């Protein structure tokens, strides 16, 4: 297979951000890796307010209205929503790009959900600015900058965005097992918030999926590493 003329190169990929993240980070991760395989990309900006999950799902619908099945995907919560949409739109989804899934089924005590609930409580107690300053204290500079930029974009809706994500039910392994389309799954081997075990379980449950991994530490210097891992996993799933 030539990566310059990959299967489904004519498809459009729609990529969503994770919890309280934004399209800036999604673009930094995916824009170049997708362009390298000739795939057009849509990366919706977050919509503030209680309807942001519905708005993300509508972005998939809008892209698929042209008639050509799309590649759906995202990071963390965005990956969950991509699968959710694919389950209801099987004839309109040609594949999935799933980076850093946070949990399977109910969030319960999943680290990403717990972190989001804790952050939401801090925002309500301290206010968005002070809570963000507290959240980024001690983080690597690149991660602190990413978090500060993304969270500031939500303004007074930040706590709600965090809570909605933390309570959102992810697909179950049984759900994943019904999606017989090429799926690229990527995980971090050094991120306790997004355990690689979740990404591994997703890749095993999906009938036509490959898992590639990288490290959070690497993404700090090279955000495209996560995009490359996800796209490479998809390419391998297309032509195993």
Domains contained in the chain, CATH given: 12-104+170-238 (3.40.50.1820), 111-163 (no CATH)
Q: Which structure tokens are listed for 173?
A: 């392994």
Read off the pLDDT of residues 214-240 as tens digits, 9 standing for 90 and up: 999 999 999 999 999 999 999 999 986
Taking the whole predicted model, whether its pTM rises above 0.85 is answered as yes
pLDDT of residue 140: 92
Q: What is the mean pLDDT of the chain?
A: 93
pLDDT of residue 5: 46
Strand partners, 208: none
pLDDT of residue 1: 41
Q: Which residue numbers in the chain have pLDDT < 50?
A: 1-5, 8
pLDDT of residue 240: 64
Element (H, E) at 188: strand 183-188
Strand partners, 93: 70
Element (H, E) at 41: strand 40-42
Q: Which structure tokens are listed for 178?
A: 């019904």
């Amino acid at each position: 297979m030539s990566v310059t003329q990959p299967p489904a190169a004519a498809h459009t990929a729609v990529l969503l951000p994770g919890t309280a993240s934004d399209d800036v980070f999604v673009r930094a991760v995916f824009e170049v890796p997708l362009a390298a395989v000739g795939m057009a990309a849509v990366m919706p900006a977050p919509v503030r307010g209680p309807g942001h999950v519905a708005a993300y799902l509508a972005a998939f619908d809008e892209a698929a209205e042209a008639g050509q099945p799309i590649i759906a995907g995202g990071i963390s919560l965005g990956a969950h929503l991509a699968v959710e949409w694919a389950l209801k739109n099987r004839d309109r989804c040609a594949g999935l790009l799933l980076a850093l899934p946070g949990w399977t089924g109910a969030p319960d005590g999943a680290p990403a959900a717990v972190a989001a609930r804790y952050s939401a409580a801090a925002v309500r107690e301290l206010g968005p600015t002070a809570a963000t300053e507290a959240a980024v204290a001690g983080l690597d500079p690149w991660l602190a900058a990413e978090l500060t930029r993304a969270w500031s974009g939500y303004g007074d809706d930040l706590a709600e965005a965090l809570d909605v994500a933390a309570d959102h039910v992810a697909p179950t392994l049984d759900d994943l097992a019904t999606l017989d389309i090429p799926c690229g799954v990527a995980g971090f081997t050094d991120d306790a918030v997004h355990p690689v075990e979740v990404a591994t379980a997703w890749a095993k449950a999906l009938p036509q999926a490959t898992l590639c991994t990288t490290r959070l530490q690497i993404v700090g210097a090279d955000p495209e590493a996560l995009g490359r891992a996800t796209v490479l996993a998809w390419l391998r799933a297309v032509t195993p």
